[in-house]
Structure 1
Amino acid sequence: MKYLLRTFLLLSMLVAWPLAGAQAQRGGGQQRQERLSQLESARIAYLTEKIALTPEQAQKFWPLYNEFTGKRRDLNLRLRRLRPNQADGLTDQQLRDNLNQSFTLRQQEISLEKEYFDKLQRVISVRQVGNLFLAERQFTREVLRRVASRPSGGPDGLDD
């Protein structure tokens, strides 16, 4: 019964997200926030289902996972800021420095994943951790597929 309820919740969120996106195109920043909130809810439901979290595990897992994703998001943001739109405006030294900083940030991301792999194993099984990383990629692919299939919207699919 729990499986059916979670599956229904997940499917309804994944179906509702593109509809909310269409409505949000007519509105402003608040609707964008609502869409992102809905997307986050769908992600939580999806990951909870895919890694089969018990309520006890979920209570310990989500704060740790949110900490991890926040740190990972920060590293990715810093990495994106280093990538210039055009390399023509930079000197060779600036390009070299940017590339070296990019390598450092990517290495930090690997270290972060290793650190949280160890931490997550204290809360959920190694199989669940493996399923988590797989489910993250699957969820991202599904969201990108849905955004790409939308009739309108910008390149990120999150236009206001």
Structure 2
Amino acid sequence: MKKIIVLFLMFPAFMQLQAQSEDREAHRERIKALKTAYITQELNLSTKVAEKFWPIYNDYEAKRKDLHRREHVNMDLSNPECISEDQANGMLQEYLDVEREEYVIKKELFRELRKIISAQDIIKLHKLEDEFHKKLIKEYRAKKDRDKTQEE
């Protein structure tokens, strides 16, 4: 009976966590859609070019995301004083390996994109990625400030 009560009490908490996870995923999808629209518009990609561009770019983004996830898992620096010198050396090597792999996938991206857009547009893409990221952070901070003001 106690198990049933505990499960009954834990169910709403589980549902809340599930809803938060779904909200996060929906939020990520919205950001991805905004980024896609922003880059497509700013690079002035035609439908034909966009059909070739986005699979290449999305593949690059997925590989990059996996690399950063791997780096994040292996670089837990919450308490750097508690790791040995050997562990620190291993972490540094892993960091360098991830950086090298990121260079390789970016080089591959540029090589593939050169087949469909100009080198100038590839440079512009890099700039647009930075601009989008800055706008995203600015919007996040503004929303956080608005929410904070509403609480007061």
- With normalisation by structure 2, the TM-score equals 0.78
Q: Which runs of 5+ in 1 are unaligned?
A: 1-26, 153-160
Q: Which residue of 2 aligns with 1:77?
A: 69
2:65 and 2:29 mapped to 1: Cα distance? 16
Structure 2 residue runs of 5 or longer lacking an equivalent are 1-18, 146-152
1:151 to 144, 147, 152: 144
**2:17 paired with 1:59:** no
| 1:31 CA drift (Å) | 2.5
TM-score, scaled relative to structure 1:
0.74
Residue of structure 1 equivalent to 2:60: 68
Q: AA paired with 1:48? A: T
Q: Does 1:101 align with 2:94?
A: yes
Q: Shift of the alpha carbon at 1:30?
A: 2.4
Structure 2 distance, partners of 1:80, 1:31, is 22
Residues 17-71 of structure 1: CA distance to partner in whole angstroms, max 9, x if unpaired?
A: xxxxxxxxxx633222222221111010001011111111001011111111111
Q: For residues 28 and 109 of structure 1, what CA distance do their matches in structure 2 show?
A: 31
Aligned match of 1:91:
84
Q: Partner of 2:143: helix, strand, or coil? A: coil
- Taking the aligned partners of 1:56 and 1:37, their CA distance within structure 2 comes to 23
- Which residue pairs with 1:31 in the alignment? 23
- Over the aligned positions, Cα root-mean-square deviation in angstroms equals 1.7
Does residue 1:118 correspond to 2:111, yes or no?
yes
Structure 1 position 82, deviation (Å): 2.0
Amino acid at match of 1:30: E
Residue equivalent to 2:32: 40
Is 1:135 equivalent to 2:133 in the alignment? no
Q: Which runs of 4+ in 1 moved over 4 A?
A: none
Shift of 1:132: 0.9
Moved more, 74-83 or 40-49: 74-83
> Aligned AA for 1:139?
F
| Alpha-carbon distance in 2 for matches of 1:57, 1:143 | 26
Kindly name which structure, 1 or 2, has the bigger radius of gyration based on alpha carbons: 2
**Percent identity among equivalent residues?**
23
Q: State the Cα deviation string for residues 66-119 of structure 1 (Å, max 9, x = none).
A: 111111111111111222211122111000110011011101111111111011
Alignment of 1:49 with 2:41, yes or no, is yes
Q: Distance in 2 between matches of 1:151 and 1:73?
A: 25
Contact map agreement 1:51 1:132 (CA 8 A) in 2: yes
Structure 1 contact 52–128 (Cα < 8 Å) conserved: no
